[in-house]
Amino acid sequence: MQIIPAIDIIEGKCVRLTQGDYEQKKIYNENPLEVAKQFEDAGLKRLHLVDLDGAKAGVVKNWKVLENIAGKTSLIIDFGGGIKTDTDVNIVFNSGAALATVGSIAVKNEQEFVKWLLQYGADKFLLGADVKNEKIAVSGWLETTDVSIYDFLQNYFDKGVRQVFCTDVSKDGLLQGPATELYTKIVQRFRELHFIASGGVSTVQDLYDLKQAGCKGAIVGKAIYENRISLKELQVF
């Protein structure tokens, strides 16, 4: 199982939110490149970079941070937050992201996302699914749809998408453990999916549980910043 550390960006700084609430933000480092280099030095290969300003504004904002990290590390970066147009997708790839992370647009504008899949190839996208009670949530989790996570994944699986991460929004940022039960169900139903767990990881045991459940990757954020899990402990995965 691949460990994917997360860096969330607001105004160029490395922060974490609690349950997606911008009012509950904590700044961990003024210099995201410094953090990314620590991850790289620890032997981690991937990075989940989230432009929270972009997510709020609906347009990519912190591409300079992406460009800086991509230019000065060899991390394989997936970048998301505010990707809504062709221009946004181009900026993300031109700034050095290996994968563009998309969420809301895949729910709200399927036609546009499918166009990108055909244009760039499905392997260039990481599909993010926010889930509440097994239903898809959008707009910073404020809105729950009536679309089941299983139908949502099946639809895009049929269109070639294989890399997916799923966040149970009731767990994210709380350090109370991931939604392992939900992820086990998804992995059992979609055997060929490169499924990445996200949200709630607080201990190394959580990671072992996710690995046991069949997850191919796990995104870890707050647990690293709050020193619940050391970078050294992540090297065994």
3-state secondary structure of 115: helix
* C-beta atoms surrounding 139 within 10 Å: 16
Q: Which amino acid is at 119?
A: Q
* C-beta atoms surrounding 192 within 10 Å: 7
* C-beta atoms surrounding 237 within 10 Å: 15
Q: Which helix (H) or strand (E) holds 54?
A: helix 52-57
| Phi-psi sector, 200: left (phi>0), alpha (psi -120 to 50), beta | left
Angle CA 204–206–208, to nearest 5: 75
- Please state, in angstroms and rounded to a whole number, the distance separating the CA atoms of residues 154 and 199: 22
The structure tokens listed for 170 are 């009731």
Catalytic residues: 8, 130
